Amino acid sequence: MKICIVGAGAIGGILAARLAHSGHDVSAVARGAHLAAIRDHGLTLRAGETEFTVEIAASDDPADLGPQEFVIVTLKAPALPGIAPALTPLLGPGTCFVTAMNGVPWWFCQALAGPLTGRSLPSIDPDGALSETLKPDQLLGCVVHAGASVPEPGIIHHAAGDLFIVGDAGRKTTAPATQLAEAITNAGLTGRETDDIHGEIWLKLIGNMGMGPICALTGATLAGLARDSDARPIAAAMMQEAMDVGEALGLSINMSAEARIDLGAELGEFKPSILQDLELGRPLEIDAMVTVVAEMGEIANIATPTIDTVLALLRGRARLAGLY
C-alpha cells in the first residue's frame, strides 16, 4: 500500500518504520533536523533488542509525495489547522485519511446521535476550516496506546505499548479500516479494528484529560499522580465529570474513574505527552483534550466545575510559558 505519515515523530515514526520494513511504500512529512536525518541516513527504529533502519521518501512539502492510499496524521492537535491546506495534494480518488492524534478530532460529531449530531465544535475547529479543507473519500480514526520518543533526529525509540485501534468515522465496519489494522499487525505491531472508534477515542480521552493536565501543573508522572493523596481525587473528579458528559451524549464508559486512573498508572513513572510538551517548550494540546470536554458539557447541560478550574489553571500555565 502507498502510505504517507504526516508528522513522523515518535508515534508516526513507529508506524513509518514498521510499515516500510514490512514492504509498504511509505513516505513521511517531516521538518527540520529530523527531516534532514531521514533523508541522509534513513529512519531508525529502536525497540528493545530490535533495531533497524528504513529508507523512505520524506519532505516538508506534501506536494512532493503525491496522492496516497492512506494518509495517517500523527501531528499534535494544534499543528493540524496550519498544515491542513497543504495536505490536499496527498488526497486522490479513494484516499483514506486517518487521524491518529490525541483528543477529539474535528469529525467526531458527524456520526453521533443526540445533541452533538452534525455539530462543528469551536474548540477543535474554530472556523470550520478543517471540515472545509479535508474532505477525503474515507475517514478513519486511530487510537494509539504506545509510548515512544525521538532521542535524536532520525531515531525513534519505541518504549512501551503497541496497540493501534482503527475504526471508520461512520461508526461501522469498513474494508479500509480492516485493511489498515491488518497491515499494522503484519508490520509487527498490534492492529485492531473497531466499529465504535468514538468510544475508543472517548475512553482514551478520559485518561488523558483527567491525568495529563494535573501532571503538567505538578510535574508528576502518571504513577506519581495515582499515588498522590491530594492530586488523585482531583483527577477522579475530572474523569467523573467527563463520564457524566459522555453518558448524556451517548458515549458511555464501562469503567470507574478510579479504575481509569489505575489503568493510566500502569505505564509507571511515565510523563504524559502534555507534560513532555511543556518541558520541551512545545504548544500544548489543551483544546482538543480539555476545552472540548467543557464545551460538550455546556451542550449537554452537565456541570464540569473541576474540569473548568483545572482548565483555567492549565491555560494560565501555558500562557506564562508562551505555549497557548
Note whether 214 and 208 are within 8 A (CB): no
CA distance 63 to 238: 42
pLDDT score recorded for residue 134: 86
Which single residue is written with the C-alpha cell 452537565?
302
pLDDT of residue 68: 97
Residue stretches of the chain with pLDDT short of 70: none
pLDDT value of residue 117: 83
Look up residue 316 and give its three cell numbers. Answer: 494560565
pLDDT for res 131: 86
pLDDT digits (tens, 9 = 90+) for 217-229: 999 999 999 999 9
Residue 135 has a pLDDT of 81
Q: What are phi and psi of 74, to 5 degrees?
A: -120, 25
Which are the contacts of 122, defined by CB distance < 8 A and separation ≥ 6? 295
Half-sphere exposure of 294 (CA within 13 A, CB side): 17
pLDDT of residue 137: 78
Please give the pLDDT value at position 167. 97
Question: What are the boundaries of each domain within the chain?
Answer: 2-195, 199-320
- Identify the three-state secondary structure at position 150: strand
Give the DSSP letter string of 202-246. HHHHHHHHHHHHHHHHH---HHHHHH-TTHHHHHHHHHHHHHHHH
pLDDT digits (tens, 9 = 90+) for 126-154: 888 888 888 877 899 999 999 888 999 99
Class of domain 199-320: mainly alpha
Known active-site residue 76? no
Q: What pLDDT does 114 receive?
A: 82
* Structural domain 2-195, CATH architecture: 3-Layer(aba) Sandwich (3.40)
- What pLDDT, on the 0 to 100 scale, is given for residue 118? 78
Residue located via cell numbers 477525503: 136
Closest CA to 271 of 322, 225, 320: 225
Strand partners, 155: 44, 152
268: burial class by Cβ within 10 Å (0-12, 13-18, 19+)? exposed
* pLDDT at position 133: 86
The residue from 2, 76, 172, 204 that is catalytic is 204
pLDDT digits (tens, 9 = 90+) for 189-208: 999 999 999 999 999 999 99
